[in-house]
Amino acid sequence: MILAVLVPLLIACFIPALSKLKAKIHTGIFVFFVPFIIFLYFVQFVGNDFSPQIEQYSWIPSLGINLDFYLDGLSLLFVLLISGIGSLVVLYSIYYLHKSERLGHFYVYLLMFMSAMLGVVLSDNIFVLYTFWELTSISSFLLIGYWHFKERSRYGALKSMLITVFGGLSMLGGFILLYVVTGTTSIQEMISQVDVILDSNYLPLILGFILLGAFTKSAQFPFHIWLPDAMEAPTPVSAYLHSATMVKAGIFLIARFSPIFSSYEWFFLIVSIVGIITLCWGSYMSVRQTDLKAILAFSTISQLGMIMAMLGFGTTIAVFAAVFHILNHATFKGSLFMIAGIVDHETGTRDIRKLGGLATFMPITATLAIFATFSMAGVPLPFLNGFYSKELFFDAGIQLDNSGFWSQAIPYLAVLGSIFTFVYSMYLFFGTFTGKKHLEQLPKKPHEAPFGMLVSPIILVLGVILIGLLPNMANAPFLQHAAEAINGDTEFYKVKFWHGWDSPAFRMSLVVVTLGIILFVTRKRWQAVYQVLPGKASFNKVYDAIVANMDSVSRSVTNFYMTGSLKTYMSLILGTTLVVSFFVMFVSNGFTVSTDQLADISFIEIAVVLIMIIAAIGTIYMNHNVAAVLVLGVVGFGVAILFVIYRAPDIALTQLVIETVSVALFLLCFYHLPKLRKSTDSAKTKTMNAIISIGFGALITMVAISAHSSRWFESISDYFVENSYKLGGGDNIVNVILVDMRGLDTLFEIAVLGIAALAIFGLIKNKKNKEAE
Amino acid sequence: MSNLAVLPIIIPLISAVILIFFNQKVKVSRALSKLFSLISLGTSSYITWYVFTNGTIILETGDWLAPYGIILVMDGLAAILVLTTNIIAVACAFYAPNAGLEKRETFYFYPFFFFLITGVSGAFITGDLFNLFVFFEVLLMASYGLIVLGGGKVQLRESLKYLLINLFSSMLFVTAVAFLYAVVGTVNMAQIAQRVQEVEQQGILTTIGILLFFVFATKAALFPLYYWLPKSYIVPNPVISALFGALLTKVGIYSILRVFTLIFVHKTDMTHEMFIWIAGLSMIFGVIGALSTSNIKLIIAYNIIPAIGFIILGIGLLNQDGISGSIYYLINDMIIKSVLFLLVGVIAYVAGTSDLRKMGGLIHYYPFLGWLLFVSALVLAGLPPFSGFIGKLLLLKGAFEQGEIAIVIIGLITSLLILYSVVKIFINGFWGDKETMAELPKKSTKGLLAPVVGLLALSVILGVGAEFFYPHIESIATYLLDPEIYIDSVLKE
């Protein structure tokens, strides 16, 4: 299995080389064999006696990340879809994409996606699943942006990525929580610990996180907005990713985790309600579209909603119907996308208003379309697979436990959604292939597509018919295993075409068809309803507003405090330090005063300190550079005097020298500097600044007093005093410390001075250089 | 073998001094820099191997016994950070000759470069709080030298803010060390830890800890102290920005990691809980900053802040997964930030502007550059299987274990926005019509991309091959969470 997952990625590495040959051989021909062989490999597993297989490889075992691949009925269904539809799509793309396109890029992304998608459905390890999940988002991003010179493509690509990666991250949150709660990273082991998960306080959060992931990926209301924009991708991509496979990843996720959540009431409620709303909204909106692919996009949204709703119901019949419909939807929707692509390719437009009457030009395409659309509409004919799953869906809706409001409303909503499904299906077929011809509006003269392009849709439509004729053919060897993986039911479900006149599901179908025909015929008259609902409201606007505001709000927020003024920065930094430190000092009872170890204070000390204080305050009020520096110098010399009083003549000398030199330097510099301007700050700012600076002074003073009052330990300086002569051989303890005991400090302080000298030298040289130029 | 501990400091120091003499000989300087950085990398690789096989190396400099002399402590954390620093140094040394420094190379670029490495390595290795201050000075002074290198008015203006704010925080640093010395009577970190533990971090100690935290947080550019960072990081040459982005803030966050796992760990309800808040705010405001601009260099500079937020989150959690996550994320971020700074440097160079609004369609001319940026964006956002993911996974798991739900949600949303902020460069700068920048002269990116590719490959390996690295990181985290080991190994009791 690991080979099947990684082979597309490996082959992708060779595509750039192979694409050089594209003048002779279309790159797609090489690529075709990849999914096809994978398909053949997995087909062998289909059979009545299939039992789940597991394959394990270590990757990062110490973090619980392992390449554990688990093939059960559910994964098998998806794997066959991915590889099967994948083969057909690649085949189709060979004719769809001209050799002048950047084929290398296209197929690299497509193969990347294939690996990713196979990985998603086969991984048993949550983190590996997540890895592949994000890879599907990224490859989808690249594929949507394939024609990136178009503004719409870039918009669609970004939108799909933001929404699906958002969901992916949320899912990651849920996975990590599951890991924390269960202590395992294997989904199968989690399923065996259902009780632990259900008892956890985090259950609502886990469910919410995971559902967000599933809903965004599967384009459920209100996250569906990315899917219509994803239609900017080349049509084979839409058929493959945005209809048959990737958007079903969310469905897969829900199905995969059903055994864990199914007995949790909220799971039923949220998943079925979101699903059914999506069904209705998608089909309702679809009727309004004019672009063939947009109709199909909303149709896909709506069908995904239907499958989602059935998984939410969770009953035997619903789950079976969901699995059945996953297969059916892939067949008819896949072929419809390809048909839309053919129409686009052969007429040059996808605008249904310009199309019409194409059946005479493209008879084969039209025939295929009729099967696919009627199957999608759920027309009760015994050779259309869509009808069977639709009717099972109705059955499942009715059989719900009729206690709550939603359980009762669901059958009605199901019918409502299906009526619109019927309408857009008819609209899609008749609008394109029958009616008046508008040849003059078409960019190209329409004609039937080349045979190669028709092969894939023909195979899919044959699938529609075959499943329609023999609906139970795939049950025992295939679908039943998938359903069993979801709800554990081994009961064999038999699909019947005819349930009798009194079967409620059949009556619902009749209602759908009757009302559907009426609405379709009269559709021009009720189009006005879209002015009311949704009217001008749209979730796209919400998205656009969020993205646009993200830029402008972030700009104004950032510019608010990033003023570029050093004064602002300093007051913010000091202010924060001040507030937090005071708070901590207060809470931790940090402030202590002890008068035990104080020396006597002489008059002269008081006098010196007073002078220093006055001088320091005075500096602020000086309006002249020179005056300010001189007054500041008083503070420095005061410090020197204090050193003298404390009998540290060498330090006092140093201080004196530094002070003299810096005052002199300042005076020299001021010659070149502009005059001090009077501060233009408002009184409010000035007060604020005063509070901050006085506060900060107070803080430092209080910490200093407390630190002095908490001398709990003997200082290591006693050791220096004892040993400076004995071990260091020097009388002057300061010297011994500087050059020996802490020589390393000194070495690097010298280095600092050296660097400073070089930096200044560099600056001056720089200036000279500039002047020379 | 204990002398090994001093080599990562001495080798770049000597290199810097030698290079001063070859200042005017650009070719010699370049060759020597490459050679010296490789020697230093080789040495630190050997040291890392040695530390992980034989345990922490303690060097009592000048044979003055602990706690009286300056002690160098080359433990697992120090070794791995020194190694990462040297890897980045090699990449920058190979990038620099092509970085368009021109005459600035003769303004002592290479000596400053090695002085910076000296300071950074020293800060990682030292076991002495005052000595840490000294190494901070070395790296800051070197950074002042680099930031003003050949600058015009704008550069000098931003440099001045950078300089003044850092000067202030250095001042506060010494003051806080003095306070701490007054209380515990020592500057040896192991002994400080031992004594703080003895009195259960009572009284004023927590406040002093917070003051130290603010000193480091200013250097680390945490919320709300990072104002100086974004603009001053983008004014110098890209290779200098890369060095700053990869190393300088990381020294600050390393110091927090060291001090708040070793010394101030007894009143976590006040300190570490606050870190979690700060982590969240740094993530939010940092990423908002990244979204606020269309200057590609500034986008990357702002992205430093949320990354630091992620790292401090783990320190705040102070559990096994949190600390492992912080270290993993720290190493990842050092590498990916240098990659991104170097990359946007190249992009701005070929596009002739750093304004995203004036770019478009670059992928038609520079496809390889575009894909490098794309992959880097994924790494930065922490998508699997790259190295950012491993760190983030551990951090979020650690947060859940502690019941910190809100921070996880903030972290997840931040990841999305980080991705958006950088992918924006890809979409608007690289995608688009071929014609947009057709008139632009095609420039050679020769020699600029190889170092970037090397670093990026490393970050892929750190992710895909996490099984090889993670157990070591995990053992470092276990070691950090038990301060006794550090104390005993230094004080030998």
CATH number for the domain including A672? 1.20.120
Optimal mutation site among A66, A67, A147, A169, interface B, most CBs of chain B within 10 A:
A169
- Would A529 be classed as within a structural domain? no
Beta carbons of B183 and A712 less than 8 Å apart? yes
Q: Which amino acid is present at B286? A: G
What is the SS3 assignment for A69? Answer: strand
State whether A227 and A321 are in the same domain: no
Q: Whole domain around residue A393: which residue ranges? A: 265-521
CA distance A565 to B231: 12
Beta carbons of B165 and A589 less than 8 Å apart? no
Residue in chain A closest to B293 (alpha carbons) equals: A555
State whether A227 and A276 are in the same domain: no
Q: At what angle do helices A405-433 and A292-313 cross, to 10 degrees?
A: 160
CB-closest option in A61, A561, A713 to B185 = A713
Residue in chain A closest to B154 (alpha carbons) equals: A564
- pLDDT value of residue A771: 67
Residue in chain B closest to A760 (alpha carbons) equals: B145
Chain A nearest C-alpha distance from B62 (Å): 7
Q: In percent, how much of chain B has pLDDT > 70?
A: 99
Chain B nearest C-alpha distance from A136 (Å): 12
State whether A721 and A762 are in the same domain: yes
CA distance A509 to A500: 12
State which of A521, A542, A574 marks the end of a domain. Answer: A521
CB-closest option in B142, B175, B204 to A700 = B175
B462-474, pLDDT tens digit by residue? Answer: 999 999 999 999 9
Q: In percent, how much of chain A has pLDDT > 90?
A: 48
- The count of CB pairs under 8 A between chains A and B is 286
State whether A630 and A708 are in the same domain: yes
Residue B1, pLDDT > 70, answer no
Optimal mutation site among A141, A566, A584, A706, interface B, most CBs of chain B within 10 A:
A584
Domain count along chain A: 4
Beta carbons of A748 and B122 less than 8 Å apart? yes
pLDDT band at A317 (very low <50, low <70, confident <90, very high): confident
Please give the torsion angle defined by the CA atoms of residues B198, B200, B204 and B206, in that order, rounded to the nearest 10 degrees: 120
State whether A232 and A326 are in the same domain: no
Q: In percent, how much of chain B has pLDDT > 90?
A: 77
The residue with greater pLDDT, A509 or B336, is: B336
Residue in chain B closest to A170 (alpha carbons) equals: B412
- Would A551 be classed as within a structural domain? no
Beta carbons of A154 and B188 less than 8 Å apart? no
State whether A517 and A607 are in the same domain: no
CB-closest option in A154, A703, A714 to B208 = A703
State whether A115 and A182 are in the same domain: yes
Chain A nearest C-alpha distance from B227 (Å): 6
Q: Which residues in chain B touch residue A233, judged by CB atoms under 8 angstroms apart?
A: none
Beta strands per DSSP E along A543-698: none
Residue in chain B closest to A165 (alpha carbons) equals: B416
State which of A261, A293, A314 marks the end of a domain. Answer: A261
State whether A300 and A361 are in the same domain: yes
Q: In percent, how much of chain A has pLDDT > 70?
A: 98
Q: Which residues in chain B touch residue A766, judged by CB atoms under 8 angstroms apart?
A: 107, 148-151
State whether A701 and A740 are in the same domain: no
* Average pLDDT, integer, range B356-368: 89
- Would A553 be classed as within a structural domain? no
Residue in chain A closest to B288 (alpha carbons) equals: A554
Beta carbons of B400 and A176 less than 8 Å apart? yes
pLDDT band at A492 (very low <50, low <70, confident <90, very high): low
Q: Which residues in chain A touch residue B211, judged by CB atoms under 8 angstroms apart?
A: 577, 581, 703
pLDDT band at A402 (very low <50, low <70, confident <90, very high): low
Alpha-carbon distance values, A171 to A166, A174, A217, B183, B419 (Å): 9, 5, 10, 50, 17
State whether A346 and A299 are in the same domain: yes
- pLDDT value of residue A764: 83
Alpha-carbon distance values, A755 to A762, B110, B148 (Å): 10, 12, 13
Q: Which residues in chain A touch residue B168, judged by CB atoms under 8 angstroms apart?
A: 570, 573
Whole-model pTM: value is 0.94
Residue A536, pLDDT > 70, answer yes
Q: Are A125 and A175 in contact (CB under 8 A)?
A: no
State whether A224 and A234 are in the same domain: yes
CA distance A372 to A331: 8
B229-277, pLDDT tens digit by residue? Answer: 888 888 888 999 999 999 999 999 999 999 999 999 999 888 999 999 9
Question: What b/e sequence results for B57-74 when a residue is b if at least 16 CB atoms lie within 10 Å of its CB, and e otherwise?
Answer: bbbbbeebebbbbbbbbb
Chain-centre distance of CA A94, in angstroms? Answer: 32
A636-664, pLDDT tens digit by residue? Answer: 889 999 999 888 888 899 899 998 998 88
B205-217, pLDDT tens digit by residue? Answer: 999 999 999 999 9
Beta carbons of A63 and B184 less than 8 Å apart? no
B375-426, pLDDT tens digit by residue? Answer: 999 999 999 889 999 999 999 999 999 999 999 999 999 999 999 999 999 9
Most confident of A98-102, A621-625, B368-372: B368-372
CB-closest option in B145, B218, B390 to A755 = B145
Contacts for A434 with CB less than 8 Å, ≥ 6 apart:
A356, A357, A359
A115-135, pLDDT tens digit by residue? Answer: 999 999 999 999 999 999 999
Task: Give the ipTM.
Answer: 0.94
State which of A521, A552, A582 marks the end of a domain. Answer: A521
- Would A441 be classed as within a structural domain? yes
Q: Which residues in chain A touch residue B394, judged by CB atoms under 8 angstroms apart?
A: 63
CB-closest option in B182, B408, B416 to A165 = B416
Residue A194, pLDDT > 70, answer yes
Domain positions in chain B: 2-491
State whether A75 and A213 are in the same domain: yes
Q: Which residues in chain A touch residue B285, judged by CB atoms under 8 angstroms apart?
A: 557
B55-109, pLDDT tens digit by residue? Answer: 999 999 888 888 889 999 999 999 999 999 999 999 999 999 888 777 777 788 9
* Average pLDDT, integer, range B1-29: 92
CB-closest option in A65, A169, A564 to B415 = A169
Q: Which residues in chain B touch residue A568, judged by CB atoms under 8 angstroms apart?
A: 227
- Would A622 be classed as within a structural domain? yes
Chain B nearest C-alpha distance from A715 (Å): 4
- pLDDT value of residue A599: 79
- Would A460 be classed as within a structural domain? yes
